[in-house]
A and B are shown apart, each in its own frame.
Chain A
Amino acid sequence: MSLVVKNLSKKYGDKTVLENLNFTMEKPGVYALLGTNGAGKTTSIRMMLGMLSKNTGEVLWNGKPLDTATCNVGYLAEERGLYPKYALMDQLIYFAGLRGVSKSEAKKRIKYWAARLEVEEYLYPNASADTSDAQGGSGNARKRVKKNKPKIADQLSKGNQQKIQFMTALISNPELLILDEPLSGLDPVNTDLFKNIIREEIAAGKYLIMSSHQMATVEEFCTDITILDHSKVVLQGNLNDIKKSYGRVNLALKVEQDIAPYIKRAGVTLLTEKEHEYQLKVTGEAQANELLSMLIADHIPVITFDLREPSLHEIFVEKVGGDAHETV
């Protein structure tokens, strides 16, 4: 299986909202679409899924145009939505049915994902009462069971609604999973819950496309990235290769005294300093080693010397400049 995005462009009148997006996923993994707000990430996803018309380009899945008929797609949209007044179970069965999942199979999968995402109490409100009733519950307990109606979306918190929406994306056991800002608005516990599921999907050999502002998360999961800025691709490729191309230029140095004169003498850029912990930017390994040699020569004890590649966050900020202020 493979996903090919070729020359994807979109214009609204004279305004270009996406210009020549190209990328390929030859094997399962996670591909990240990054960019500032309005850079064209969501537009790209909508075009890939056929929701928006393309001015140019094509999207192929196994050599055929990507379509609901050719590919089992799971999609967590940036605009989260559920029917506010309908029973959650009805909605999930409906969404599963639209993806070709039978009602009985859908019920099994809903049960599984409800347990995984810890939303059983909203989908099976009588389950715990049933258990106690089966174990000899009183008449009052039986009355309580009658009162517990299945929840509707309006009664759920934003985070729990997001879990239900994630279930709708996963319920058809998709080959291609597109997640637009999957972790935004989640608390740390639920973020970990989502991350674990994403890891499992990766391990199961799924193709994932992820759009996110959380660079640490992208770095954690993604193998390949595209950074969009003002509708244009400004950086693209394998994340490790990109990082390598920048070289090891970030130096974290911890000592027991002020070393500002040494830094100045070595021509190294000081980024931050806090209680003799320095974050420095070097031009390469040679400059870092020169600074280290000076410190050793003057018998200055070095506690930490960590020379590493730039983070995705730094790369992103460098590429999109001032527009990156909204990233996390």
Chain B
Amino acid sequence: MKQYKEQLTGTGMVYRFTLQQFLKNKANMISLVIMILFAMGSVPVTSLINGGSNKEGHSEISNVYFSDCTEPYALTYTDLQNAAATGTFWTETAFHGTDDMTSGEGQNAPAPRDVYAAITFDPQTGMYQLSIIAAEDTELSDEDLATLSTFLMEQFDQVRYRTLNISDEQLAFVMGSWESDTQSFDSYLEDENRFDTQYIVQLIYSIVVMMVSVLSVSYIIRTVIEEKASKLIELLMVSVKPLALIVGKILAAMTYVLITMGGMVLGYVLSRAVCSQFMTVAPLTDMFAGGFTFSGSLTNMSIVFVIAVVISLLLAFLTFAIIAGLSATGCSSTEDTESATMGVTLLIMAGYMISIIASSSGSTALAYATSIIPVVSVFCAPIHYMMGTVGIGVLIVSWVLQAAVVILLAIFCARIYTSLLMHRGTRVKLTAMLSMAKTSSAKGVQ
């Protein structure tokens, strides 16, 4: 323990300096601002794509002039006013009787935000008819008019049923709404809805892991190569142990990526707060749960999911960060940055692609395999656990295996890191690193 403490002396100083320089770097700052703007812009863009209306939770209709010509049921505009008052959607809409119309108004087109509505009965067909008349130059959308139509029909039905003197429970029973779903027999057997949910959650989570890993890896590789190319290693090694040097950099990259992600989340939340003043923005819970059929409640799922995600993300970060550190340390000049980044990025992309393919296949065996195999497991295990495909035991086994990989990588790194730091010349390949570790192990030299 004392030996490790000595090896890590100065880590805090390296961490602070590296983070400080990350934050002072103009290119990093521009990237951060672009990412935050991207997160902020995603709210209005997605809302508009999803057909968001101008104002959340309110009808755009200003006045409804209503008449019911179906005696004896007689739904009145006061019934509509009372029903509208129970919610918030119609708070900016006034319901009037046709008596409120000024002389000759009914003969003229309504105002751009007003409508005339009338319910009639056709004795020949035995059908009720709802007519909604809007202005030629109406500012109302089809969605606004459809919502009004539904509201009026519901209220009319309620009046009809109430004339039969039925209780509220009975009314709720007969007024229960419908939701229909049409699917093929094969889809029915495969539980397609659940499958779609897993695919979407897996996709989102894999993208997050990939983003965190790729960002971290690029920062670590850049800072390590910059130091080596600047011929600073000898100067630094007089003052700090190689292990402290790499650990400080990894922690600084992790913090910087967290700051970036935090900035994006903050930008998103702020953008939502601002956009919700002007347009319909789906609640966050709807965003995550919309269309998904989680077995548990969202709150319970979130706690377990957050813990699983944090542990898996941490393991993913450590794995890729150590590999990135080794890859970068084997380089001597900034020209090698691309090739050093390429290898680690390909590994991350492979993990990402396998996780997506495994999720889209729907195979339980593949789900188990991808939850356990290191590197891929950091992408798959928490999602498979959350969806109930694998149990907590498999999740823990995947963490243990991944942690073992991290420890082995750290030991490997500790054995060869000093030699790699002092290396000059062409980029050190994996086989040469293994050879270095073997030599180091044989000599017992670190």
Contacts and interface: CB of A to CB of B under 8 A. Distances in A.
Given A79-B231, A83-B232, A84-B230, A49 B237 contact: yes
Contact of A68 (B20, B240, B421, B422): B240
Nearest to A87: B24
B239 A90 contact: no
B418 interface: yes
Interface residues of A, number: 31
Interface residues of B, number: 32
Interface in B291-332: none
A46 B234 contact: yes
A82 B240 contact: no
Nearest to B232: A81
6 contacts: A51-B421, A53-B418, A55-B443, A77-B235, A90-B20, A168-B235
Contacts of A86: 21, 24
A84 B234 CA distance: 16
Interface in B213-253: 226-227, 230-241
B13 A83 contact: no
Interface of A is mostly: loop
Nearest to B18: A94
B17 A81 contact: no
A98 B9 CA distance: 9
B239 A99 contact: yes
Contacts of A165: 235
A94 B245 CA distance: 13
Contact of A82 (B14, B230, B241, B440): B230
A75 interface: yes
B279 to A, nearest CB: 43
A38 B318 CA distance: 40
A57 interface: no
A46 B424 CA distance: 14
Contact of B238 (A68, A79, A83): A68
A90 B422 contact: no
B13 A97 contact: yes
A103 B421 CA distance: 28
B157 interface: no
A52 interface: yes
Interface string A78-108: 0111111111001000110111000000000
Contacts of A55: 443
A95 B233 CA distance: 12
A99 B235 CA distance: 11
Contact of B234 (A75, A83, A98): A75
Interface of A: 46, 49-55, 68-69, 73-75, 77, 79-87, 90, 94-95, 97-99, 165, 168
- A51, A73, A75, A90 — which one has the most chain B CB atoms within 10 A of its CB? A51
Contacts of A68: 238-241
A168 B24 CA distance: 22
B13 A80 contact: no
B17 A94 contact: yes
Kindly list the 6 A-B residue pairs having the minimum CB-CB distance in the complex, ordered from nearest.
Answer: A81-B231, A98-B239, A53-B445, A81-B232, A77-B234, A79-B231
A54 B444 CA distance: 11
Nearest to B244: A98
Contacts of A77: 231, 234-235
A83 B230 contact: yes
B13 A69 contact: no
A81 B13 contact: no
A18 B369 CA distance: 52
B230 A51 contact: no
A98 B237 contact: no
B238 A49 contact: yes
B6 interface: yes
B10 interface: yes
A51 B443 CA distance: 15
B162 to A, nearest CB: 77
A90 B13 CA distance: 12
A54 B440 CA distance: 11
Nearest to B21: A86
Nearest to B26: A85
B433 to A, nearest CB: 16
Nearest to B228: A81
Contact of A73 (B13, B17, B238, B443): B238
Nearest to A78: B234
B422 to A, nearest CB: 6
Contacts of A51: 234, 237, 418, 421-422
Contact of A81 (B21, B25, B234, B445): B234
B240 A75 contact: no
A165 B232 CA distance: 10
A90 B17 contact: yes
Interface string B5-39: 01001100110010011001100000000000000
Nearest to B14: A98
A98 B230 contact: no
A228 B230 CA distance: 29
B232 A82 contact: yes
A164 B40 CA distance: 44
A123 to B, nearest CB: 17
Interface string B329-348: 00000000000000000000
Contacts of B236: 98
Interface in B417-445: 418-419, 421-422, 440, 443, 445
A53 B230 CA distance: 23
B226 A83 contact: yes
Interface string B184-227: 00000000000000000000000000000000000000000011
- B239, B422, B445 — which one has the most chain A CB atoms within 10 A of its CB? B239
Contacts of A82: 230, 232
Contacts of A80: 231
